[in-house]
Structure 1
Amino acid sequence: MNRWGVHLIFWTVYALIRIAALGLYNMEFHDVSLMVLFEMPIAMALTYYLSYRIIAPLLQEQRWRLIVPAVLALGAALLMRRILMQELLYPWLYAEEYTFEFLDVYRFAGYFLEYIGIIGLFNAFRFYRDWKKEKLRASRLREEKADAQLQMLRAQVNPHFLFNTLNSIYHESLKGSEKTPEMIIELSDLLRFVLEDCSKEFIPLSREVELIQNYIRIEQGRHGEHLKCNAQFQLEKESMVPPMLIFSLIENAFKHGVNGSDKEVNIDIDIRSKAQAVEVEVKNPLHAHVKEVEKHSLGIGLKNTLKQLELIYPDGFTYRDHEVDGEHVAYMRMPTGPTM
């Protein structure tokens, strides 16, 4: 609802309450309605003047000298109301059959409390509305900032994994391998994935698995029988996942488990999609030539993955890694996106 609509409702409710209150004095509805119509312009003018000209700058800038015009405005409204009633309203309604005491202390006290109540209630609604708007604005800013950070992280991942893939193909081309053309075809599929899917918030898990399978074929083409990859995909439901998030774990395993080793290497990949979560477990060997500090450090891709997880699932993901019998084991669990 727009601002004018809210104000209209507020003053309509005020008018109805005043009509109901005056009706307790056994006054005719016609008389009550006219009295409220006379009173409302003064109440509205005082409320808007004090709210926007006095209270707002008084609270925001602590301009205490504004208390003086506030008191004067309130006093003027009280006097104006009594003058209108004495000179216009009562003569119109009751002709000569009425008595009117202008300086009625109880009447002035009642008007004063009425105005204070109206102004207080009006500003309570106004402050609540402003607080909600500021809260919504802050929430949108946080979302926009998180989205910008996420896009930046994904933009960092793309050249990172493409560099590693091109490096693999480059090594094969130096050896004059017959597998190079096939690896280039696999790379073209990876590039198509980057162009079409990486900008999306979520993609089908099967699409992510397809990317992983392409990457595995490239690595197997590069390393041949030197690399054994046991990949299991148990997709009970076609869930939605952030693009390249699982892929980063797989790439990290190949990077640290295969590169630089002259022995047979085993990479184990297990991806399971259940009703409530997607679980990923990746195992790769740790080689003696790897420095102790590097064993426990996170590569660029893995650091990026963790930052994305924190942005997308602030409280809903699990990640842990450890070393068991000379193997690095990484485990990730994240909630499923919307099911297909």
Structure 2
Amino acid sequence: MKSNISSKLYTHLIFWILYLILEVYLDFYWSRYQFPDFKWPVRLQNTVMLELGYLLIKIPLAYAMLYVYEKINIKRVFKYLLCIIILVTGVLVHRFFTHYIIYPFIYGVKETLDGHQPSGFINGLVAFNAFMDLIFMVGLVFGIEITRQKNLLNQQISILKAEKLDQELTMLKAQINPHFLFNTLNNIYGMALKKADETPDVILQLSKVMRYNIYEAAVKSISLEKDIDNIKDFIQIQKIRHHQLSVVFNEDLDHPSQEISPLILIQFVENAFKHGVSESLGHSFISIDIQLKNGILTYRIENSKEERSQGQSTKMGLKNIHRQLELLYPKHTLSVEDQNDRYIVELSIDFNDTSSL
């Protein structure tokens, strides 16, 4: 609210300064024809005094009409009628100021239409000129204010959209991470009952992964190298659980510090374990290939599955991931191949694309 008021004051202050400069320039240019005997310093001084005097009329008029238009809650026809009354009052004050003050006290002459005949206080032509002058000014003020409000509204909409996207991403990520935590805790519980020697190692690996998920990943972007290290830690935990698992991990990065949204890539690995390896009765495998060349990430995961496996839950998981990618990297490419005995997922992200930042 406070920044909105400051923005309005700053915008309107700049407007009135520029408007005054414009009016002084135009009237100063016109005065050399109406008052050719006046020296230019005198004409400039008179023009500045003239326009400052007019501002005392125009500023209250403009904001009175703006107040009626924005704040007074009445029927539109009465609102227009009230604006017309304010405008007519402004024309009369404008004419009074011009006829009785400007010409006799500033220029020291009587007001005339053509340089010869005196003009009355109410005259059709001069009243029309005053009307057009005020209409032009009011139109500028309304245009400036409407534009300012539109820009402010667009900024607020952009902020709300960004907040909505952040909230949606947080919710989408939260749907996946607890699954891994609960499963791992169950595994640790089972290992503890058996008094397995690997139990302390699993706890340490879990602590490292959760530290990354909760603290290090609580940012919009992180280096690709750190995100891949988290995937490796995750796989180490799963390898302790799945003794018959074969893992092939290929990594080729020409720019390891390339930033990426955290916890995006690991979700494909989680999906591979949840709907592939965990459902396999015998030997299972996961093949992961990550390459980054010239700002283009290519990510391929291939994992085994049982031929009887139902793919609906897999599709639901990939739908969640795909939604996150749409929000973060709109021009990504993602393909999923569901074969009889394996899943193949290929993802490509072009970090050179500015729309993906």
Q: What are the ranges of 5 or more consecutive residues in structure 1 without an aligned counterpart?
A: none
Matched, 1:108 2:113: no
| Cα separation, 1, equivalents of 2:52 and 2:280 | 91
Q: 1:21-32, aligned counterparts within 5 Å? A: 21-23=26-28, 24-26=30-32, 27=35, 28-32=43-47
CA contact (8 A) 1:286 1:328 kept: yes
Distance 1:318 1:171, change over 3 A: farther
Give the percent of matched residue pairs that are identical in Structure 1 and Structure 2. 27
1:224-258 Cα offsets, whole Å, 9 max, x none, are: 2x211111111221122222211111121122222
| Cα separation, 1, equivalents of 2:264 and 2:50 | 70
1:6-26 Cα offsets, whole Å, 9 max, x none, are: 323322332233323333232
Q: 1:1-340, aligned counterparts within 5 Å? A: 2-23=7-28, 24-26=30-32, 27=35, 28-53=43-68, 55-56=69-70, 63-95=76-108, 99-224=118-243, 226-238=244-256, 239-290=258-309, 294-298=310-314, 301-313=317-329, 315-324=330-339, 326-336=341-351
Distance 1:44 1:331, change over 3 A: same
| Cα separation, 2, equivalents of 1:71 and 1:116 | 11
Q: What are the ranges of 5 or more consecutive residues in structure 2 without an aligned counterpart?
A: 1-5, 36-42, 112-117
Q: SS state of the match for residue 242, structure 2?
A: helix
Which residue of structure 1 lines up, in the alignment, with residue 38 of structure 2? none
Structure 1 position 127, deviation (Å):
0.6
CA contact (8 A) 1:172 1:222 kept: no
Q: Which has the higher contact order (CA 8 A, sep 6+)?
A: 1
Structure 1 position 195, deviation (Å):
3.2
Which residue of structure 1 lines up, in the alignment, with residue 40 of structure 2? none
Structure 1 position 275, deviation (Å):
2.5
| Cα separation, 1, equivalents of 2:126 and 2:238 | 91
CA contact (8 A) 1:78 1:112 kept: yes
Structure 1 position 175, deviation (Å):
4.7
1:43-82 Cα offsets, whole Å, 9 max, x none, are: 22211111222x3358x86521122222222222222222
Distance 1:72 1:40, change over 3 A: same
Q: SS state of the match for residue 298, structure 1?
A: helix
Q: SS state of the match for residue 278, structure 2?
A: coil
| Cα separation, 1, equivalents of 2:271 and 2:109 | 97
Distance 1:253 1:93, change over 3 A: closer
Structure 1 position 108, deviation (Å):
0.8
Structure 1 position 325, deviation (Å):
5.4
TM-score normalised to the size of structure 1? 0.87
| Cα separation, 1, equivalents of 2:188 and 2:319 | 25
The Cα RMSD (Å) is: 2.6
Distance 1:218 1:121, change over 3 A: same
Structure 1 position 143, deviation (Å):
0.6
CA contact (8 A) 2:280 2:304 kept: no
| Cα separation, 2, equivalents of 1:96 and 1:151 | 75
Distance 1:299 1:61, change over 3 A: farther
CA contact (8 A) 1:46 1:73 kept: yes
Aligned length: 331
- Equivalent position amino acid for 2:15 in 1: F
TM-score normalised to the size of structure 2? 0.83
| Cα separation, 2, equivalents of 1:212 and 1:50 | 63
Q: SS state of the match for residue 337, structure 2?
A: strand
| Cα separation, 1, equivalents of 2:279 and 2:14 | 74
CA contact (8 A) 1:261 1:287 kept: yes
Distance 1:202 1:61, change over 3 A: farther
Q: SS state of the match for residue 102, structure 1?
A: coil
Structure 1 position 117, deviation (Å):
0.9
- Equivalent position amino acid for 1:334 in 2: I
| Cα separation, 1, equivalents of 2:11 and 2:288 | 59
| Cα separation, 1, equivalents of 2:77 and 2:190 | 76
| Cα separation, 2, equivalents of 1:215 and 1:94 | 87
CA contact (8 A) 1:154 1:198 kept: no
Structure 1 position 223, deviation (Å):
2.3
